[in-house]
Structure 1
Amino acid sequence: MENWTQILVTEFIFTGFHITWEFGIMISLLLVLMYVSTVTSNLIIIILVWTDHRLHSPMYFFLCNLSFHGIWFTSTIVPKLLSSFLMDNGISVTGCILQCFFYFFLGTTEYILLPVMSFDRYVAICNPLRYAVIMNNRVCLGLALTSWIGGFLSMFSPFIMILRLTFCRFNTINHFFCDAASLIHLSCTDTALLDLVVFVSASAVLISSLLLTTISYIYIISTILAISSADGRRKAFSTCGSHITVVTIAYGTAIFLYAKPANSDSFNLNKVMALLITVVTPLLNPFIYTLRNKQVKEALVDAVRKCRLSQGLGKDMIHLHHLRLQ
């Protein structure tokens, strides 16, 4: 037993979901479809924002950041999840630690980006005459960089501490990706300080993000309700409706996943909720903004029309070239 405990783990094994191989194939096909749709839809949003002059505003700049984030966030989990279903459910210790870092780095970035986007809506609705002055290009770029750098820095100290962990004896992770809690649980070194650092860091980010977003929307809603005309209130609500939907999904799933007491009966439910966060939410975000936003829909329709027109012109040129050759 003493010799066994000294054997260092070089690979972790995911237990994932307890399903049959045939059902795993069906889930894998669905995951591939969702992953391709997520990457494609978010890329479309990014291309539309950068190419259509009507979308050159702070709100769409932050939406572009959210779409870029969604591509990388889902790419951190889905490819390895597909591999676990189809081929190999193992991952090296280094790969596991890197996956854990990028998952929480990108997750933290999102929870910093959400209050930034709510601040943009606050300025647009509560200070519309000064909106262009306050939300200038330098401020927007600074807020976006703050979101990404803040997400990186918040995970830097826990990541360095996780790198120093040693793993021995047990190597089974009861999840479909490398969660920080799983790594801490499997470590054969003292993790009391790491537990505290992770808890404080995650709590500080989530609580401050939720608090700032709530304060912004308290001012936004009070300003909207003070508008005398019903049409004016409707237009004001429509400018932040998509963001409210995204915020509700993000905070709702996070609070459900991390705020409730952990017990053995909730492991499978935790996996399902984590799957929603990592796979479904990045897929829904671009559709929420597209379906609820008139300018994005118009830009998308114009882009499709231009593509069809260019294809038609290309076919006409090829046909004319053939006629000349004849």
Structure 2
Amino acid sequence: MMENVSVPTMFSLSGLNFPFVQRIIIFMLVLLCYLLILVNNCTIIFVIITEKKLHKPMYVFLCNLCVNALYGSVGFFPKFLVDLLSSHVISYTGCMLQGYVIHSSTCCDFSILALMAYDRYVALCRPLVYQSFMTTLRVSLFVFLSWFVPLFCMFLNTATLLGKKLCGFHINRLYCVNLMVANLACSPPKVNSIIAMFNIGVYFGHFLFVCYSYVYLFKMCLASTQTWKKFRQTCTPHLICLLVYSTTVLLDLLYIRFGSDNLSLHLDNFVTIEFLIIPPILNPLIYGVQLTHIRKRILRFFVTKKKIHNFFMNN
């Protein structure tokens, strides 16, 4: 028994037990998804940075949401694309890093979405003090905290697993998950469980705050037709993104803890990665369509590009 107890150098992963031809097809689909994530989010980031009219708190927070989508996708897609064409293993260091990036990115999404809910609360319920309250310094502090809190919380969670002796080296997933690494430990890491509960408490607090903000917003906006119009214009995309994010992450959390042996391999794989694909693709599309300033800026870019193309073609 003691021969199987050690600090690992490699982990094996699961979920790619199908013919190489199918792997190639999946590789092309995953690559397409990754390119969509890169193009969609980079477009929104570029538009917000280059358009001075969009240098406002709401768009700054949106820009950070897109940056976080790029950060989280780097933790999964490049490694997974390589795995589809080679062996499905990962080094111990790579596993810890991948788990940290994916977990911290997921938490950072929620922190930024909570911050965006607060921004809408101040803008619609306290419009007279919005400009004086949402100063550049305060917005910068909010953005810093929306990154620092999840990065720090997940650092504590990951740090408690480093150097632990494990009784197994197989992770039953497409990618590394801290919970599954903790389950491989020969003796349950109590500190990890305590920090995990602390992190759950922190983000449950985020959840309660978002719920309170929107319940209050909804009540306030119903009393005024003009305020209700603003609510629909600026809060609808945020609510849709929040719903998509919450649904996909909750589905993943429920599946990792309760699971099901009745799902096919492909459906099982999709359930484990849907939160890494759906929100990063949909969020920039939703905001790009719903928010007028962003939509007009993108359309103006393509119209200008078309005019330049026609000019050179006609001369």
TM-score (norm 1): 0.88
Residue number among 212, 216, 224 corresponding to 1:215 in the alignment: 212
Residue 8 of structure 1: CA displacement?
Answer: 4.5
Native 8 Å contact 2:41 2:66 kept in 1: yes
Is 2:191 the partner of 1:193?
yes
* Structure 2 equivalent of residue 322 of structure 1: none
- Secondary structure at the residue paired with 2:11? strand
Residue number among 228, 231, 248 corresponding to 1:233 in the alignment: 228
Native 8 Å contact 1:105 1:155 kept in 2: yes
For the residues of structure 2 that align with 1:252 and 1:286, how far apart are their CA atoms?
A: 17
Q: Match for 1:265: what amino acid?
A: D
For the residues of structure 1 that align with 2:48 and 2:177, how far apart are their CA atoms?
A: 34
For the residues of structure 1 that align with 2:197 and 2:276, how far apart are their CA atoms?
A: 21
Q: Match for 1:149: what amino acid?
A: F
* Structure 2 equivalent of residue 289 of structure 1: 287
Structure with max Cα Rg: 1
Q: Cα distance 1:270–1:249, how it changes in 2: closer, same or farther (>3 A)?
A: farther
Native 8 Å contact 1:112 1:205 kept in 2: no
Once structures 1 and 2 are overlaid, which stretch shifts more, 29-38 or 105-114?
105-114
- Secondary structure at the residue paired with 2:173? coil
Q: Match for 2:235: what amino acid?
A: C
Once structures 1 and 2 are overlaid, which stretch shifts more, 89-98 or 121-130?
121-130
Alignment of 1:1-326 (within 5 A): 1-2=1-2, 4-6=3-5, 8-168=7-167, 170-201=168-199, 203-227=200-224, 229=225, 233-259=228-254, 262-265=258-261, 271-310=269-308, 315=312
Percentage identity across aligned positions? 25
User: CA offsets, 1:145-181, max 9 Å, x none?
Assistant: 001111121122222211131334x211110110011
For the residues of structure 2 that align with 1:180 and 1:107, how far apart are their CA atoms?
A: 13
Once structures 1 and 2 are overlaid, which stretch shifts more, 298-307 or 136-145?
298-307
Residue 218 of structure 1: CA displacement?
Answer: 1.1
For the residues of structure 2 that align with 1:36 and 1:173, how far apart are their CA atoms?
A: 27
Structure 2 residue ranges without an equivalent (≥5): none
For the residues of structure 2 that align with 1:95 and 1:113, how far apart are their CA atoms?
A: 26
Aligned residues: 312
For the residues of structure 1 that align with 2:20 and 2:259, how far apart are their CA atoms?
A: 27
TM-score (norm 2): 0.91
Native 8 Å contact 2:124 2:217 kept in 1: yes
- Indicate the RMSD between aligned Cα atoms, in angstroms: 2.3
Q: Match for 2:210: what amino acid?
A: T
* Structure 2 equivalent of residue 323 of structure 1: none
Native 8 Å contact 1:78 1:279 kept in 2: no
User: CA offsets, 1:174-212, max 9 Å, x none?
Assistant: 1011001111112234423312322331x1133111111
Q: Match for 2:85: what amino acid?
A: L
For the residues of structure 1 that align with 2:262 and 2:60, how far apart are their CA atoms?
A: 38
Native 8 Å contact 1:210 1:251 kept in 2: no
For the residues of structure 1 that align with 2:123 and 2:220, how far apart are their CA atoms?
A: 11
Q: Match for 1:43: what amino acid?
A: C
Structure 1 residue ranges without an equivalent (≥5): 320-326
For the residues of structure 1 that align with 2:261 and 2:97, how far apart are their CA atoms?
A: 28
Native 8 Å contact 1:46 1:67 kept in 2: yes
